[in-house]
Amino acid sequence: MKRVLAALSLSVAVVSPAFASLALASKSACLSCHAVDHKVLGPSYQDVAKKYAGQKDALKTVMANIKSGGAGKWGPIPMPAQTALSDADTHTLATWILGGAK
């Protein structure tokens, strides 16, 4: 029984960040304009991950883009600034997005 509980708690610990980040994206209204695997108004999170893959300051760049918003990087529709997000939540979202939103 202890092995089953240990395996279950380990699997929850491994899966939880993805669910937590998806929940955070949903709670923060990110999913109104973005989706994991297809373009909505803004790019998919997987496309964002591909664009910034291998870039030295990718995390810093994506965090800044989330916080300050902008336009022109992905087309004419502007992304509103997400100034209400804490730095910790912004870091969590950016890390999740750069990981392909998995």
pLDDT-based confidence at 15, cuts 50/70/90? very low
Position 102 pLDDT exceeds 50: yes
**Domain membership flag for residue 33:** yes
The CATH number linked to 48 is: 1.10.760.10
pLDDT of residue 18: 65
**Domain membership flag for residue 4:** no
Residues 28-79 have pLDDT tens digits of: 999 999 999 999 999 999 999 999 999 999 999 999 999 999 899 899 999 9
Which domain, by its residues, includes 36?
16-98
**Domain membership flag for residue 9:** no
Per-residue burial over 16-39, b if 16 or more Cβ lie within 10 Å, else e, is: eeeeebbebbeebebeeebbbeee
Going 27 to 30 to 34 to 36, the CA torsion angle's sign is negative
pLDDT of residue 12: 39
Q: How far apart are alpha carbons 12 and 44 in whole angstroms?
A: 26
The total number of structural domains in the chain stands at 1
pLDDT of residue 58: 98
**Domain membership flag for residue 85:** yes
In the DSSP assignment, the letter for residue 80 is P
